[in-house]
């Protein structure tokens, strides 16, 4: 069995072959080294997409630390989702902003792979709510013109999840960071 392992002699990750048990030999310099892969543990993960949540699992190395704001891959029934950690529930029942993986009971996450971006579209005295489903990495810019149902709306400001308000022309944010976009109707 071949495996890529960091070799102390070569000072690089090189191809090693299994000799026996957990002993591997470097194919570059023939150095023999002991390698025991780090144990991974499975943690319950609850990932929310808009108003719906689903239970999944997170496989992560035992020595890792999780922190609110980290992005991780969560395994769910239909595959995988990218989630941002919003809360860590510890085995003692308390919540924490940061914790070692072995102390975590449940990881609460927000889906940032595919997100719904809320918009307030203003035309005169009328404000219409609207929602766009897009990749979390989609970038929006203050001053950008959006074409919605054949009408043009210019982004005037963006309220971010962290509470910040972007209103300077050219300021950008990714969809996963946005709480609401405000846009004004532009006559043709």
Q: Over the stretch 91-101, which tens digit does the pLDDT of each residue have?
A: 999 999 999 99
Whether residue 165 has pLDDT greater than 80: yes
146 contacts 121 by C-beta, under 8 angstroms:
no
Whether residue 35 has pLDDT greater than 70: yes
Pairing relationship of beta strands 165-166 and 151-160 according to DSSP bridges: antiparallel
What is the structure's pLDDT at 188?
Answer: 65
Fold (topology level) of 40-111: SH3 type barrels. (2.30.30)
C-alpha 128/C-alpha 89 separation (Å) is 38
| Residue range 2-9: mean pLDDT, rounded | 88
Structure tokens at 12: 């690089």
Q: Tens digit of pLDDT for each residue in 120-136? A: 999 989 999 999 999 99
Please name the residues in contact with 125: beta carbons below 8 A apart, sequence gap of 6 or more.
Answer: none
Whether residue 63 has pLDDT greater than 90: no
23 contacts 38 by C-beta, under 8 angstroms:
no
What is the structure's pLDDT at 60?
Answer: 92
Could you give the C-alpha distances from 161 to 41, 55, 68, in angstroms and in order?
31, 23, 14
86 contacts 46 by C-beta, under 8 angstroms:
no
Percent of the chain with pLDDT over 70: 99
Is 132 or 188 the better-scoring residue by pLDDT?
132
With tokens 């013109």, the residue in question is 145
Q: Is residue 161 left, alpha or beta, with left meaning phi > 0 and alpha meaning psi from -120 to 50?
A: alpha
Burial state string for 82-106 with b = 16 or more CB within 10 A and e = fewer than 16: bbbbeebbeeeeeebeebebeebeb
Nearest to 101 by CA among 114, 91, 116: 91
Instruction: Answer yes or no: pTM beyond 0.85.
Output: no
Could you give the C-alpha distances from 137 to 26, 101, 174, in angstroms and in order?
40, 27, 5
């Amino acid at each position: 069995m071949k495996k890529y392992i960091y070799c102390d002699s070569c000072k690089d990750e090189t191809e090693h072959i299994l000799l026996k048990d957990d002993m591997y030999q470097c194919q570059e310099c023939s150095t023999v080294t002991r390698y025991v892969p780090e144990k991974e543990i499975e943690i319950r993960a609850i990932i929310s997409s808009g108003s719906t949540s689903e239970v999944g699992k997170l496989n992560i190395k035992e020595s890792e630390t999780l922190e609110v704001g980290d992005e991780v891959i969560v395994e769910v029934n239909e595959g995988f989702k990218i989630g941002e950690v919003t809360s860590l529930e510890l085995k003692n029942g308390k919540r924490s902003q940061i914790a070692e993986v072995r102390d975590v009971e449940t990881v609460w996450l927000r889906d940032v792979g595919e997100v719904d971006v809320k918009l307030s579209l203003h035309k005169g005295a009328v404000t219409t709510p609207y929602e766009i489903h897009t990749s979390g990495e989609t970038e929006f810019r203050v001053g950008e013109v959006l074409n919605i149902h054949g009408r043009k709306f210019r982004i005037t400001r963006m309220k971010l999840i962290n509470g910040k308000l972007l209103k300077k022309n050219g300021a950008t944010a990714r969809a996963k960071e946005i709480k609401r976009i405000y846009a004004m109707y532009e006559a043709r």
